[in-house]
Amino acid sequence: MVGLLVASPIFAFLAKSHNPFRLIGVGLSVWTFAAAGCGSSIDFWSIAICRMLVGVGEASFISLAAPFIDDNAPAAQKTAWLAMFYMCIPTGVAVGYVYGGLVGSHLNWRYAFWGEAILMLPFAILGFVMKPLQLKGFSPADSKKALASIETAASVEDSEASVISGDVPVGIEGVSNQGSGKSSKIRDPPVSSWFSSDHLMNIELHLIKLTGLSILNQFSRFAKDMKVLLHDEVYVVNVLGYIFYNFVIGAYSYWGPKAGYNIYHMSNADMMFGGITIVCGILGTISGGLILDRMTSTISNAFKLLSAATFLGAVFCFSAFCLKSLYGFIALFSVGELLVFATQAPVNYVCLHCVKPSLRPLSMAISTVSIHIFGDVPSSPLVGIFQDHVNNWRKTALVLTSVFFLAAGVWFIGIFLKSVDRSDENGENQASAHSKANLKPLLSGGEDHCGEA
C-alpha cells in the first residue's frame, strides 16, 4: 500500500514527459523484481520492503492504463471497456486464492512469488519494446520546449550574474549593450583557465542552479495541476463519494468474516464472504459498465447510476444484517454486493471525463490515493474500536453499512452539478498526429531527440 500511494502521483506526473508504455514497463519491471525478492526474502523486513515495491508496479497501471483504455475504446463502449479492466481486480483475487492454494500445497510458498515474477516478465518487456502509443493531451515537443525554456532562462540569469560579478562564461564572444547602443567584444579566457578551480566551481554552481530551477518548475506544475483538480466540484464530489464507498468495502473485507461468524455462526465465514465478493464483484462491475453505456455515457448519467446503485445496494445489505436467517442473509447480501460493485466503471468514468485529457493520469492517481488514505485504511481500525465499545457485531455491521447511504447521497448531489465532459478538449500539451508515437523512453540514454516509432 505504501508503494502504491507514493508512486501513483509520481507516475501520473512523469506521463507529461515520458511515454506511458515505457512508464508501465518500468513499473512492471519493479513489480517483477519485487515479487522475486519476496520469494527470496530472508526475514520480515526484507519481505516487507519487497511487498512495498510491488505497489510501484500497481501504481503505473492505476495512473496510466485507464486513460489509455478511454482513448482507444469505441465511443459507445467506453464504460464497458473500463468495466472489463476493473473486473480484473476481483478476478485476480479469485485466481490468486486458487493459485496460492495449489502452489502452497504442492510446493514451497516461495515458488508462488517466483512463479508470479516469471509470468509478469514478458509483460514488463513488452512495455519497452511495443510501439510507444501516446495518450491524448500530451506532446513530447511541448515537454522539450518547457525544459529548453528553463535552461535558457537559467543560462541568461547566470550569464548576467557572471557579467555583474566580473566573471565571464566561456564561449561568449560579445555582449551587446542596447541601453547605450554600444557593443563590446569579450575574448574567451585562455584554455589553461578552463580547468582552474574557480572556473570549475562556477560550472558546478551553474549546474546546481539549473537543476534547482528545473525541480522548482516541476513542483510548480504539479501544484498548479493539483489546484485545478481540487477546484473542480464534479471531481471533488465524485472522489468524496468514492471515499465513503471504499470505507465500507475495506471494512467488509477485513471484518466481514468475523462478523458473519459471530452473527450467523458460519463455520466457513471467510470462504462465504470471499466467494460472494468475488462473484458479485465480477458480475456487478461488468453490469455497471454495460448499463451506463446503454444509458448513454455522460457524467450526469454516471452520477445517477452511482447514487441509485449504491442506495439500493445499501438497502439490501442493511436488510441482510437485520435478518436472523443465514440463507436470507446470503440472498439479500449477494444482491446488495452486486449493486454496489456496479459503481466501479461509472466512478472511474467520471474521474477520466471531468478533467482535461492531460490531467487524467493525475486524476486517477489522486483518486486512488484519497480512497485508500481516507477510506479503507482508517476504516478497519475505526470499526474495530467501535466494536470494542458496543460489543455487538450486528449493530456494528448495521452502522458500517449505513455509510453506503452517505456515499449515495454525495453522488446524488453530483447529478445537479454543472458537469462538462472535457475528454475532447485540447490540453496545453496536445500531441500532433506526427508526434504521437515519439515520446522518449524513461530509461533512454542522454539523447536530446525522441526516437522514431
- What is the residue range of 322's domain? 2-138+227-414
DSSP collapsed to 3 states, 177-230: ECCCCEEEECCCCCHHHHHCHHHHHHHHHHHHHHHHHHHHHHHHHHHHHHHHHH
C-alpha cell at 15: 506521463
pLDDT at 246: 92
If one compares 197 and 415, the residue with the highest pLDDT of the two is 415
pLDDT at 421: 80
Give 384-408 pLDDT, tens digit per residue. Answer: 999 999 999 999 999 999 999 999 9
Handedness of CA 251, 252, 254, 255 (dihedral sign): positive
Indicate if the pLDDT at residue 191 is higher than 60: no
With respect to residue 408, please indicate whether it lies within any of the assigned structural domains.
Answer: yes
Indicate if the pLDDT at residue 180 is higher than 50: no
Give 112-149 pLDDT, tens digit per residue. Answer: 888 888 888 888 888 777 776 666 766 554 444 444 44
How far is the CA of 319 from the CAs of 44, 60, 339, 404, in angstroms?
Answer: 42, 39, 14, 13
With respect to residue 221, please indicate whether it lies within any of the assigned structural domains.
Answer: no
How far is the CA of 333 from the CAs of 176, 276, 305, 328, 336, in angstroms?
Answer: 80, 8, 19, 8, 5
- Closest to 123 in 3D by CA, of 26, 9, 15: 26
Cβ distance 237 to 413 under 8 Å?
Answer: yes
With respect to residue 363, please indicate whether it lies within any of the assigned structural domains.
Answer: yes
With respect to residue 453, please indicate whether it lies within any of the assigned structural domains.
Answer: no
pLDDT at 415: 93
With respect to residue 339, please indicate whether it lies within any of the assigned structural domains.
Answer: yes
With respect to residue 112, please indicate whether it lies within any of the assigned structural domains.
Answer: yes
If one compares 346 and 157, the residue with the highest pLDDT of the two is 346
Phi, then psi, of 133 in degrees rounded to 5: -80, 145
Provide the domain count of the chain: 1
Residues 6+ apart with CB under 8 A from 268: none
With respect to residue 385, please indicate whether it lies within any of the assigned structural domains.
Answer: yes
What is the average pLDDT score of the chain?
A: 76
**CATH number of the domain within which 397 lies:** 1.20.1250.20
Least confident window among 35-39, 146-150, 355-359, 421-425: 146-150
With respect to residue 107, please indicate whether it lies within any of the assigned structural domains.
Answer: yes
